[in-house]
Amino acid sequence: PPDVEALGRGTWTLLHSIAASYPESPSMSQQSDLLSFVKLFSKLYPCWVCAEDFRTYIGREVPKVESRDNFGKWLCGAHNDVNRKLGKPEFDCSRWQERWRTGWKD
């Protein structure tokens, strides 16, 4: 259904933008807030099959909240997991900041 796609596009934009604005050296309370957000998000995301698979992913790959780049790469891996499931091309996670924070250089 198209709204799962529009919801997904908008949500990935929000999630990758949160990674882009997350500190390079977050405090303990910022780290615990982000971890809580990811876990609550995985319970509340209004595409239930999507949310269930995302919770499974979180159980397998513990969210890395100790720095911006670690979280951005973890999130990129989560997005690639969905890309693989849907037969979409995988994204090169070494370039997540170019796409979501600094802008493409070429």
Residues found near ligand FAD in the complex (CB under 6 A): 4-5, 8-9, 11-12, 16, 45, 49-50, 53-54, 76, 79-80, 82-83, 86, 88, 91, 96, 99
Q: Which amino acid is at 100?
A: W
Nearer to ligand FAD, 28 or 58 (CB): 58
Q: In angstroms, give the least distance from the CB of 93 to ligand FAD.
A: 6
Look up residue 11 and give its two tokens.
Answer: 């949500």
Nearer to ligand FAD, 31 or 54 (CB): 54
Name the residue whose CB lies closest to ligand FAD. 8
DSSP summary character for residue 64:
-
Q: Report helix, strand or coil for 22.
A: coil
Look up residue 18 and give its two tokens.
Answer: 């949160």
Q: In angstroms, give the least distance from the CB of 42 to ligand FAD.
A: 8
Nearer to ligand FAD, 37 or 91 (CB): 91
DSSP summary character for residue 89:
P
**E strand or H helix at 16:** helix 2-21
Q: How far apart are CA 76 and CA 80, in angstroms?
A: 6
